């Protein structure tokens, strides 16, 4: 892939909280990772009353992009202009902050070497993630039975097949699902049971792959989701 900024999204907890993770990379195309062509990067976040520190370790050996890949670190919930943003002790000239989105964006280089980002801000300027409404608008197949109830089955509700009921009007189903800002929601459409989950519309009559959306607050607290259901698997011959 050409170098386009990747987004590393950070949702800090309150003062005194911390978390760690391991970021895995490979070429995304082949099975070479199985024979060692893969790398890991250790990442740690620590939050205190006056700021946070994001520590990014050096990428391990095994895999590296053929060209450096930029990364935009986006820190959510920052409700006031940070007093300082540093990378390895030096001010980050390209850092930007938006009051409307409450996001601090910090452009950094690839994960080749260890990096430490320190953000300083007045106390009590971090806000918890907000609620976002996923607003679904779904085009239904012509074969949808009259009076059918269509549902969103999602990871946000433990994958119950009748998680959120949508309102059906003609060939369209609409409705909302409230989730926390920044949540990656995986979902499918059903008519209330896994035996009537949406199909891929092919002769194989397989269930569709999981759909997914990230809940972004944006300007209004709503993320619009538009999909088309090709078929229902209980209609297969």
Q: What was the pLDDT predicted at 1?
A: 61
pLDDT tens for 174-232 read 999 999 988 889 999 999 999 999 999 888 888 999 999 989 888 789 999 999 999 99
Phi/psi at 35 (5° precision): -110, 25
pLDDT tens for 103-159 read 999 999 888 889 999 999 877 688 877 899 999 999 999 999 999 999 999 999 999
Q: Where are the domains of the chain?
A: 6-120, 131-235
**Alpha carbon distance 42, 60 (integer Å):** 9
Those residues with Cβ within 8 angstroms of residue 199's Cβ, 6 or more apart along the chain or in another chain: 205, 206, 207, 208, 230, 231, 232, 233, 235, 236
Phi/psi at 194 (5° precision): -70, -20
In CATH, the number for domain 131-235 is: 2.60.40.10
Q: What was the pLDDT predicted at 2?
A: 63
pLDDT tens for 30-70 read 999 999 999 999 999 999 988 999 999 999 999 988 887 88
Architecture of domain 6-120: Sandwich (2.60)
- Given this chain, do its domains 6-120 and 131-235 carry the same CATH topology? yes
Q: Which of 199, 208, 137 is nearest to 168 (CA)?
A: 137
């Amino acid at each position: 892939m050409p170098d386009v900024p990747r987004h590393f999204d950070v949702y800090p907890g309150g003062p005194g909280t911390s978390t760690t993770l391991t970021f895995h990379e490979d070429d995304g195309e082949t099975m070479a990772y199985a024979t060692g062509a893969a790398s890991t990067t250790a990442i740690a976040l620590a939050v205190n009353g006056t700021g946070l520190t994001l520590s990014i370790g050096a990428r391990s050996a095994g895999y590296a992009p053929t060209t450096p890949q930029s990364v935009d670190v986006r820190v959510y919930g920052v409700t006031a202009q940070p007093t300082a943003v540093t990378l390895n002790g030096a001010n980050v000239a390209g850092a930007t902050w938006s009051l409307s989105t409450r996001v601090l964006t910090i452009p950094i280089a690839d994960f080749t070497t260890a990096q430490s980002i320190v953000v300083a801000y007045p106390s009590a300027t971090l806000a918890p993630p907000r609620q976002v409404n996923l607003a679904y608008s779904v085009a239904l197949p012509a074969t949808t039975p009259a009076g059918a109830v269509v549902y969103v089955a999602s990871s946000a509700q433990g994958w119950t097949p009748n998680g959120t009921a949508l309102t059906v009007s003609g060939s369209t189903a609409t409705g909302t699902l409230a989730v926390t800002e920044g949540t990656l929601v995986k979902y499918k459409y059903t008519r209330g049971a896994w035996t009537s989950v949406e199909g891929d519309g092919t002769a194989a009559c397989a269930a569709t792959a999981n759909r997914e959306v990230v809940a972004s607050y944006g300007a209004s607290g709503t993320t619009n989701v538009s999909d088309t259901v090709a078929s229902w698997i209980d209609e297969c011959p």
